[in-house]
Amino acid sequence: MDRIFLRDLKVETVIGIFEWERRVRQIVSLDVELATDVRGAARADSIDNALNYKQIAKRLTAFIGETKFQLVESLAEAVARIIVTEFSVAWVRVSVAKPGAIEGSREVGVTIERTTADYR
């Protein structure tokens, strides 16, 4: 299976468990990998035959910008569900990171993998 990826998509959102985190917007960084068959798009050389990653990025940016999750785990699960159910993707790997969340660490986060079977 072929894979399309989107790396380091940065979005401002409200995320965190502490009171101060609920009052400010923070940056989260997303990495997304999607399993899809790109042969049709490659043959036609047309976006009409491709999984449109620009549409995916716009959908995720809008969604994340409006959410107020406490946990990166919850955000990752919601992102995976959108990709699998709205864009008909058979498999997705989603990583969500919070830069600067832990002193001395560049970022912390979670990586999950989901398939269509997870959302039946």
Residues with a known catalytic role: 98
User: For residues 98 and 26, what is the distance between their CA atoms, to the nearest angstrom?
Assistant: 8
- Chain length of the chain: 120
Contact between residue 115 and residue 90 where contact means Cβ atoms under 8 Å apart: yes
- Two structure tokens written together for 88: 């008909």
Instruction: At 88, give phi and psi (nearest 5°).
Output: 50, 50
Torsional class of 17: left (φ above 0), alpha (ψ -120 to 50), beta (otherwise):
alpha
Closest CA to 76 of 90, 89, 63, 58: 63
